[in-house]
Structure 1
Amino acid sequence: MRPMLATKGDVVPTGDEWSHEVKWDGVRMLADVADGAERARLTTRNGNDATIAWPDVSPAPMDGRDLLVDGEIIGINDAGVPDFAVIQERMHVRSATTAARLAKAVPATFMVFDVMRLDGRDLTSLPLAERREILQGLDLGGWQVPPTYDDGAMLRDATLAQGLEGIVSKRLTSTYQPGVRSKAWLKFAHRHRFSFVVGGWRPQEGTKDRLAALLVGEPTADGLLYRGRVGSGISGAASRLLGAQLGGRALDASPFADDVPAVDARGTFWVEPFLVVDVDSLNKMPISRLRQPSYRGIRTDIDAADLLEG
């Protein structure tokens, strides 16, 4: 199953037919507990099995009672705020030993906001209000069920003041539609953080293989359009991780549908446009060229097609 997705909203809705939640800056995850299982099977929003990467999240609650839930895995930064950058290294782990070590050093929390199956019963056709009532009646142990709020405007102001990512507003009558981007769920983000697709990389000056900057673009109906070069925020560890992801994916020519300025194209190694990364910048939408961008991390939980859909 793929998770239900929210649409970008313009105005926070009001009225009794809506509820509002904090938008967490983490990794979307479905947790599926087969009846009697000791551990949940964790899958990302694009269907990848991520169980091995999260040994602190995967233990099944309620003695392995049959369950399927939707939520977000988060990590807390030094300021006490959920921050994707804290846990982005853990997303790519495929070694149980490494995952166990990182779980101790960088603990994660699973914030559960929906339930789609319980004791073999499919709940997806129930309205959100009923699913939430069922969810709040469960004892999920270390998994947390965050509260919902009636006043979306108040929550948006509060999350902005607290440095949180934003809010999600959901229609209480909405059924759970796997894999559908629905206008019954609306998302409102505070941060100027965007996801782009990598189309090329540039080495550090004086080297041939030390990745120091990315050339990124936005998938559109007209192809991958160039949005800028990102070098800030790429540490030594990030450089090695990016290099490993891009290895073996070289192209002879630019994958961008439009022209890349010569100052950016000079010395660039072009790559297949498959890798999605998060970038912070001073921009607001729409973006033609990034302003003072900073690399934040790789997004293996989404792909280029997801960005084209919005």
Structure 2
Amino acid sequence: MCGRIGQVRPMLASPTDSVPTGPAWVHEVKWDGMRVLAEAKGGQLRLTSRSGRDVTAAFPELAPLATLYDDMLLDGEVITLEDGVPSFSALAERMHVASARKAATLAGARPVTLMAFDVLRLLGQDLTEQPWTARRALLEQLELDGPRWQVPAVYDDGAGLLAVTAEQGLEGVVSKRREARYTPGRRSPDWRKLAHRPTLSVVVGGWRPETGSATRLGAILAGVPDGDGGWAYVGRVGSGLGGRTGQALRDRLTEAAESPFATDVPVEDARGATWTEPEVVVDVRHLGRGSSGKLRQPSLVAVRTDLRPADLSELGDA
């Protein structure tokens, strides 16, 4: 049963390499924002993050949503738009704000929008056992078309939506089985996600060992040209380093006495690191950059033996 919001966790989508096809599936835009459950109860709104943290104070502009229905629980994504496209980095400064005064100021300068894509409870009725088609029909009947919230469209053509989202710079596509019930807290194959991950060529400036090993790569520390002849740190890459790829990369790295980065490396990233000469270029896929400039969810694609570090000033995301 779907009880109070504190007892519920969002249903999660499983990664996929291709958009599912056929009439059993429906497709939505994958929004680059913050997943929340929004509960309206007795004229009050409570927003809870995917981790269960209460983030209501951070988004005061969404409070009027609670006046629409006496009891409602929505699943959705809070986004901030920049030039018509969701910007996670623009949203990041809002996500952890606890001060009501600061939140109000930020809401006035850069308001968020709630993209409500599911309804889990309405007027005391648990809807999680209902198929997606029934929940979606009810969601559309709620007429949630407000200044700071909306119900995004759904599409039958997943491949077409994937192409359009790539063209428009959106994050990707989420595909949902029409007859799927809502399974709180579970990563389900009935929901599948495919994100567009741009590729960036970076220089390796350090590495950290894999847990339990002194020699195998657990992560590399990446940088890009800072515009002044140095290297700006853009994050720790820990995915894609297994097997021969990681060992071959490790063999190419030359130890250095100090960090090659002109910008600060966070303590949690630098801990246990071996610095290297900025000589090796690799490609990483990622989901854009956060407010600090670090890459989001980077993963190693390939070692670029055809590129020198000096070439990177001419390259960007591909």
Q: In which range does the TM-score fall when normalised by the shorter chain? A: 0.5 to 0.7
After superposition, the Cα gap between the structure-2 partners of 1:272 and 1:174, relative to the gap in structure 1 and judged at 3 Å, is: same
Paired positions, count: 245
Tell me the TM-score normalised to structure 1 length: 0.68
Question: Are 1:6 and 2:4 an aligned pair?
Answer: no
Is it true that 1:271 corresponds to 2:264 in the alignment? Answer: no
**Structure 1: where are the runs of 5+ without partners?**
195-213, 234-257, 274-287, 304-310
Alignment-derived partner of residue 154 in structure 1? 160
Question: Which residue, 99, 117, 137 being the options, matches 2:141?
Answer: 137
Name the counterpart of 1:242.
none
1:33 to 30, 40, 43: 40
Which residue number in structure 2 is paired with residue 276 of structure 1? none
- Quote the Cα distance in structure 1 between the aligned partners of 2:186 and 2:54: 20
Q: Could you say if the C-alpha distance between residues 228 and 151 of structure 1 is closer, same or farther in structure 2, counting changes exceeding 3 Å?
A: same
- 1:213-247: CA deviation from partner (whole Å, max 9, x where unpaired): x98989999999203235779xxxxxxxxxxxxxx
Q: Give distance in 1, aligned partners of 2:28 and 2:36.
A: 17
- Pick closer, same or farther for the CA change 1:133–1:93 going to 2, 3 Å: same
CA distance in 1, matches of 2:258, 2:156: 50
Instruction: Report deviation, 1:139.
Output: 2.6
1:228 paired residue among 217, 221, 229: 221
Q: Does residue 54 of structure 1 match 2:47?
A: no
Q: Cα offset for 1:164? A: 1.1
Q: 1:95 aligned to 84, 96, 99, which one? A: 99
- Which residue is 1:73 aligned to? 78
Q: Point out 4+ residue stretches in structure 1 off by more than 3 angstroms.
A: 61-64, 214-224, 230-233, 258-270, 288-295
TM-score (norm 2): 0.66
SS of residue in 2 equivalent to 1:73: strand
**Which residue in 2 is equivalent to 1:22?**
29
Letter in 2 for 1:8: P
Task: Indicate the percent of aligned positions where both proteins have the same amino acid.
Answer: 44
Determine the C-alpha separation between the residues in 1 that align with 2:14 and 2:63.
Answer: 28
Unpaired stretches in structure 2, ≥5 consecutive residues: 1-7, 227-248, 271-280, 298-318
The equivalent residue for 1:241 is none
- SS at structure 1 position matched to 2:60: coil
- Structure 2 letter corresponding to 1:84: F
Aligned partner of residue 89 in structure 1, secondary structure? helix
Aligned counterparts of 1:92 and 1:181: Cα–Cα separation in 2: 25
Contact 1:20–1:169 under 8 Å retained in 2: yes
8 A Cα contact 2:61 2:111, kept in partner:
yes
The alignment's C-alpha RMSD in Å is 3.9
